Every structure is written in structure tokens, then in C-alpha cells.
Amino acid sequence: MTGRRLLAAVAAVALVAVAAIVVAAIALSDSDGGGRATTAPSGGGASTINEIYRREGPSVYFVQARGSEGAGTGTAWLYDDKGHLVTNEHVISAGTEVALRVGDNKLVPAKIVGEDASTDLAVLEADRSALRDADPLRLGDASKVYVGQPVVAIGNPFGLVDTVTSGIVSAKQRVLQAPNGYPIANVIQADAAINPGNSGGPLLDMNGRVIGVNSQIATGGAQQSAGIGFAVPIDTVKDVAQQLIEHGRVDRAFLGVSSVALTPDLARELGLNRDSGALVLEVAPGGPAARAGLHGAQAGGSEGALIAGGDVIVAIDGQDVTGPDDIARAIGAKKPGATAKVTYVRAGSEHTVAIELTAQASG
């Protein structure tokens, strides 16, 4: 099989292994939970779940999008004092008409400021005066999130608006695929109950600060939570939201390679003298890696099987690379125009080359 087909096969295996992970975006009912007190408690420091719900909940909204390609529903939350809101891209991707449910079933129109499928994030804008006098949610710091940390999620699972759930951070540094296949790095895993309709809602720490945007769930094959949810980290949200607000798009650094984790079996099959790293399958023509001289794998034979391995990327900026996820993290942390020092192995010899990264447009 060709390098492209091998990559697809490997991706298919990976998808089978994580088949429980689905994007939580399905049509929901229009029922309204309501019944929330909006008086904020006094005092500072860590809060109870009820205090967080009462204080931060009014800034979280049921969002619905309709268009010729279908409909989507989920959750959005107030990001700043100008009426900008954050949600998931997959929640509003099918719609051209977007509205927020505010208070007693009042629908407030919202426009799409920008969307970025590569991080599954979107920014909306609504009339600030119509958003029930809510305050923007405070933003936390994803770098300070720790495993075992208590967290709270507010959203609209299955159309049950104004729902709160709680749990702990189960893991950090996960890498997930966005709806367009782009890897999202540094994802937070939590066991707070997240279901379809929570998509786009805030994951909060016990001070009521947003540490992530709930985006995907593990379901075990059913369209409901299996106790594992995934949130795009707030540090990514800050960066993407700012670019969407200012430019309507996100320009991210682009290396221009597709790769697969090198295993001992694959290395032995290809006659490589190394059994770890990211095996380059394809190099985007004219891209930064191609201009730097990196090589992809060679295919041949009657079925297009790989007959020779490509370069094996083993480090970026001195940090070890064991597979595509490490490349995604390293490149994703950079801006277009930045330089990445890529160390790779070819024919048993190690080389390091400085590669100037270009922009890959949002989408």
C-alpha cells in the first residue's frame, strides 16, 4: 500500500482503539430547566459547587444553529464585555442562523465572528445588553491544572438547560483529533458527566475560572457519557479566540509532514536501525519540510507497500519525538514565521535542520 494508504490504515486502527470518542453534537430538545438563583455569594477563595453554579451559570447559554446543511445545539459562554462568546465549532458549523436562549426562553440572535475547525472552537457575538446582565467568565491557567483537581461543568446536556456536573481532572496532555482531523494538543481529561449538549460549555476550577472548553466525550458506543470527557485547554482558547476576534481566522504554524509512530516491528520491516520516533510518510510539496529536504517513505510492489522508510524525526528543538502527537505539540506551540530545529535520522545518520514554518490557514 502507498504511504498515504498506510497512514490511513494506521489512523483507522487508532480510531478503532478510541472508537468511544465521539464529538458531542446531536439535535437536542428545547426544554428549559430554569430555576437558578443568580445572586452571587460573598467572599473569595474556593467555592462550593452551588456557589459556582449561581455565580457563573448566568454567563452560560444554550446555543442553537440552523442552516441548509442541518442544525446544531450546544453551549456557549460569555468571553468578554463586548458580547463575544465562545463555543465549539462543531456546534455551529451547520448553521447560518445562530441564537442564544437567555432567561425565560428568550432567543437572542448571535452572529458568527469566526470559527476554527482545527481546534473545534468558534466565537460568536451578541447584543451585550440582551445577555441578562451577565459578567464574562474569568479565565484560568491551563498550565496550573493538576490531575485530581476538582472541576465543575455547566451546560445543556440533552437540552436540559442550566445543568451542572462535577468531578476531577483525570489526566492531562491528551491529544485529540479535531473535526477536520487536525490534532488538538494538551487536552484536559475529566470525569465530570459530559453529554451531548455540553459541547462548547466551560470546564471550571473551584474558583469559578474557566480552564477548558468541553468538546468531546467517550461513550463506550452509546450516545451518552462514559465518565470521560475532554476539554480544549483555556490557554489554547485564549489564543484562538483573540485571533478570531481580531482577524476572523487563525493562522497556525505548518511543518508540512504526515507521519506515524515508528514501532520496532515497522522498523524491522523497513530495515531501519532505529525503533522509535515519527516516521515521515509524506512531505507536502513546496512546504517547509520539503524545502528543508526531508524525505517521505517510498512505496512499491504490486500492492503499493512501503519498500523503504522515510526520514525519522526524533526531536524538535531538542525535545524527544516519539510520534505524530509530539510533532503536533511542538509545532502547535509556534507561530508562522518561527523556526523549528528538526532532528531526523536518515540511513543511520542523524541530522538537524532549522526549518522556517509557514502559516496554515484556519479551517
How far is residue 213's CA from residue 63's CA, in Å, rounded to a whole number? 14
Number of neighbouring beta carbons within 10 Å of residue 291: 14
User: Is the sign of the CA dihedral 211, 218, 163, 79 positive or negative?
Assistant: positive
Q: What is the DSSP string of 258-324?
A: EEEE--HHHHHHHT-S--SSEEEEEE-TTSHHHHTT----EEETTTTEEEE---EEEEETTEE--SH
Q: Are 174 and 188 in contact (CB under 8 A)?
A: yes
Choice among 93, 118, 199, 258 that is catalytic: 199
Q: Quick check: is 325 catalytic?
A: no
* Among the listed residues 142, 152, 149, 153, the one whose alpha carbon sits nearest the alpha carbon of residue 186: 142
Q: How crowded is the C-beta side of 59, counted as CA atoms within 13 Å?
A: 27
How far is residue 124's CA from residue 245's CA, in Å, rounded to a whole number? 9
Q: Quick check: is 84 catalytic?
A: no
Q: What is the DSSP string of 105-143?
A: TEEEEEEEEEEETTTTEEEEEE-GGGSTTPPPPPB--GG
Choice among 120, 162, 205, 326 that is catalytic: 120
Choice among 90, 93, 259, 326 that is catalytic: 90
Q: Quick check: is 259 catalytic?
A: no
Positions annotated as catalytic residues are: 90, 120, 199
